Amino acid sequence: MTRPLVVLGATGSIGLQALEVARHLGRAVVGIAARRPRPELAALARSWPEAAIAVAGGSPSEREDFLAEVARPVLFGSEAVVELAGRPGTTVINGVVGSAGLGASVAALEAGNRLALANKESLVAGGPVVMAALRRGGGELIPVDSEHSALFQLMEAMPGGAVNRLLLTASGGPFRGRSPAELEHATPREALAHPTWKMGERITIDSATLVNKGMEVIEAHFLFQVPYERIDVVVHPESVVHSLVELTDGALIAHMGATDMRIPIQYAITHPERAGASVDFRLPTRALHFEDPDREVFPALELAYGAGRAGGSAPAVFNAADEVAVAAFLGGRLGFTGIPRLIERVLELMPVTDVGSVEEVAAVDEEARHHAAGLVAGSC
Ligand code: MG
């Protein structure tokens, strides 16, 4: 099936690579959305003249300038992005950063679209809501994140009931092997130096704290309907193995590949078909290492498991508190080890409730941010 594509978060890292893959595959792009009415987006609009353009934010004057530059109709407002995602018959690549991506994910699935999901917050903050939309709309949910794409491909290749355990690989980030004392004074510059993947700022910091891996555990739980006690994390600094499954008979099956997001993006578009590669990959001849994550140095991982097991609103709280903590860390208002401490305190402050709608998730998100910001201001 060659559905046309809608790319959300088009000016971000995933969005730009998705458009590159679309070009490579010769796929039509019928929608492009981004948060800000910037010149980069205007340039994309010119490159894809058939695509509807949606912009979530921007001031009235920024919007006016943008309209003049693009010289065709533009849909404005966050509801316009959701509307674009909900136009049926498309594959929606959701590369939106942050909890703003949830509404678009739900709209895409309710319309019966294929959702190629790169927005973590959709499943972390709104897992129950997204899964309900998937059941209601009869769409498809295909992960784009490298680990989940690997697990998705492994799971579809295995007979039903054969998988015992999921093993998500983690690079370990720039602080692998450090002591807690050394991490007290870690700077944003050090934390932003990710050894294997080139990504956006928040996800790079989240990789350094292992918050990102914790969020991926929660995503895997929803995507593959596997209980938390059967999802493990293994540190693998080379990032060549993208994840593994352990089968009931003890066999471990690994998925390997280049550290290049264009590969999982392409598979999310072409599944179950395969197309020619846009990336050159040779199996590396260097050694591959595997080790257990240091749960003492990286307490965020256990916090994520705890939030996942608590269910309901807890993962949304975990996500929102982390986003505030990362911004505070990057702004020099919170130390590196303050990030998991802040998340833990916000989780303690908020009782676990059920979340059944995008609005309920947004309310939890807002309250958690409010608590987190208050704790940062009062110096956590
Ligand atoms: Mg990942």
Query: pLDDT per residue over 245-274, tens digit each?
Result: 999 999 999 999 998 999 999 999 999 999
pLDDT tens digits for range 147-157: 999 999 999 99
Q: Which residues of 21-59 are buried (b: 16+ CB within 10 A; e: fewer)?
A: bbebbebebbbbbbbebbeebbebbeebeebbbbbbebe
Confidence category of residue 280, pLDDT binned at 50, 70, 90: confident
Mean of the pLDDT values across residues 135-144?
97
The answer on pLDDT for 313 being more than 80 is yes
Share of the chain above pLDDT 90, in %: 88
The protein residues having their C-beta less than 5 angstroms from ligand 1 (an ion) are: 145, 147
pLDDT given at position 380:
47
Confidence category of residue 203, pLDDT binned at 50, 70, 90: confident
Residue 235, both tokens: 């540190």
* Ligand 1 center to 147 CA (angstroms): 5
Query: Contact 240/146 with Cβ under 8 angstroms?
Result: no
Query: Contact 194/186 with Cβ under 8 angstroms?
Result: no
* Ligand 1 center to 199 CA (angstroms): 10
Mean of the pLDDT values across residues 104-117?
98
Residue 301's Cβ-count burial label (10 Å; 0-12, 13-18, 19+) is buried
* Ligand 1 center to 46 CA (angstroms): 31
Compute CA distances 339 → 7, 94, 188, 275, 326, whole Å. 31, 27, 12, 41, 7
Edge-to-edge strands, sheet with 114-117: 75-76, 52-55, 29-34, 5-8, 91-94, 114-117, 140-143
Residue-level length of the chain: 380
Provide the 10 A C-beta neighbour count for residue 270: 17
pLDDT given at position 282:
79
Mean of the pLDDT values across residues 316-334?
96
Average the pLDDT over each of 17-26, 50-59, 95-104 and give the range with the smallest value.
95-104
- Beta-bridge mates of residue 204: none
With H, G, I as helix, E, B as strand and everything else as coil, classify residue 219. Answer: helix
pLDDT given at position 212:
95
- Beta-bridge mates of residue 166: 231, 245
The whole-angstrom separation of Cα 212 and Cα 216 is 6
The whole-angstrom separation of Cα 286 and Cα 288 is 7
Helix axes 101-110, 358-377, angle to 10 degrees: 170
pLDDT given at position 338:
96
Which residue has better confidence, 196 or 335? 335
Query: Contact 166/224 with Cβ under 8 angstroms?
Result: yes
Confidence category of residue 202, pLDDT binned at 50, 70, 90: confident
* Ligand 1 center to 363 CA (angstroms): 27
pTM exceeding 0.85: yes
Mean of the pLDDT values across residues 60-84?
96
* Ligand 1 center to 197 CA (angstroms): 9
Edge-to-edge strands, sheet with 241-247: 231-235, 163-170, 241-247, 252-256
* Ligand 1 center to 90 CA (angstroms): 25
* Ligand 1 center to 145 CA (angstroms): 5
Mean of the pLDDT values across residues 81-106?
95
The whole-angstrom separation of Cα 167 and Cα 252 is 9
Helix, strand, coil percentages (3-state) for the chain, rounded to 5, are 50, 15, 35
pLDDT given at position 199:
67
The whole-angstrom separation of Cα 337 and Cα 66 is 41
The whole-angstrom separation of Cα 78 and Cα 86 is 13
* Ligand 1 center to 285 CA (angstroms): 23
The answer on pLDDT for 109 being more than 80 is yes
**Which strand (E) or helix (H) includes residue 323?**
helix 314-330
DSSP 8-state symbol, 193: -
pLDDT given at position 346:
98
Share of the chain above pLDDT 70, in %: 98
pLDDT given at position 53:
98
Confidence category of residue 287, pLDDT binned at 50, 70, 90: very high
pLDDT tens digits for range 345-354: 999 999 999 9
Compute CA distances 245 → 251, 253, 255, whole Å. 8, 5, 9
* Ligand 1 center to 146 CA (angstroms): 5
pLDDT given at position 64:
96
pLDDT tens digits for range 22-49: 999 999 999 999 999 999 999 999 999 9
* Ligand 1 center to 242 CA (angstroms): 8
Provide the 10 A C-beta neighbour count for residue 193: 13
pLDDT tens digits for range 54-70: 999 999 999 999 999 99
Mean of the pLDDT values across residues 304-329?
97
Count H helices, E strands: the chain?
16, 11
* Ligand 1 center to 15 CA (angstroms): 16
